[in-house]
Structure 1
Amino acid sequence: MENLPLLPGNRFSDVTRTNFIVPRTLSFKNGHRIIRVPRFGIGQTYKPDICLTEDERQLLDNFQPELIYGKVRVQEPRKFVPATLFYDKKILRFYGYFKQIIHESPLESYRIRQVIIYYYLEDDTIAIYEIPYKNSALNQGMRIRRHRISKNDQNEPYNWRDLNLRQNLIIYGTIYRICDCDQFTREWLESEGIELQCSESIPSDPYMLKLMEKNQNKFKDILIEKKVMDKKMDGKILRFYAMFNNQDHFRKFIIHVYLIDNTIEIREIHRNNNGYDPLPIYLHRQLVPKDSTYNIKSFVNLFLDQREQNKISYIKANDFILGQHITIFNHIFFLYDCDKFTRDFCQLDINRLPSISPHSEDKTKNIVRKSKENEQRVLRYEAILESSNEDDRCRRFLIVYRLADDFISVYEKPIDGYGCLTRKFLERVRIPKPDSHPDAPIYYQPNDFYIGAHVEFYKHRFKIIDADRCVLKFIEENQEQFSQHVIDSFRNHICSTEKQKSN
Structure 2
Amino acid sequence: MSVRNPRLPLLPGYGTNPMIGKTRFGVRPVFTSIDKVNMLVDKAEGVNRVPSLYCRKQAPDLPTWIMYDKNILRFQAFFQQSLHEMRSGSHILRKVEIFFFLEDGTIKVMEPKTENSGLSQGTLISRQRIRLPFSYDNYYDVLDLNIGREVTFFGKVFKLVNCDNFTRVFLNRLGINVPDPIPWPDAIKRGTDRGKPPKHRPFRQFLDFDRQVLRFHGYWDDRDSEFGIMHLLEIHYFLADDTIEIKEVLPPNSGMEAGPMFLKRMRLPRKIPSHVEMTGGPKCPSYSPADLSIGAVINLYGRKVVLTDCDPFTKEYYRVTYGFDSFNPLPIPKDEGTECVSTSVAERQLPPWNGYGSYDDSAENCRTVEPKPPHRDFIKFLNKDRVGFDSHVLRFAARLISDNPEDKLRYFIIKYFLCDDTIGIFELGERNSGFKGGKFFRRDKMYLPDVDFFVPKEPPAYTDKDMWVGNELIINKHCFRLIGADEYALRYMEVNENEYPMANLALIMDKIRRTLATQENGYKNFVAKYMDAAVPDNRELMSVRCFKQALKEVMCERMTEHEFITLIRHFRGDPGKEKSPRREMIRSLVFSDLTRGLWDERVKLREALLHADANGLGVLSVPRMRQLLRANRLPINTDLMDCMLQVLNKDSDCNIVYEDLLSFLDFQTRPVYNLTEGDYQKVVRHAPPLKDTECKLWAETETIIQEGFVNWNAFLCQLNLENLVKEQTQ
**TM-score of the two chains, using structure 1 as the length reference:** 0.28
**Structure number with higher strand proportion:** 1
**TM-score of the two chains, using structure 2 as the length reference:** 0.20
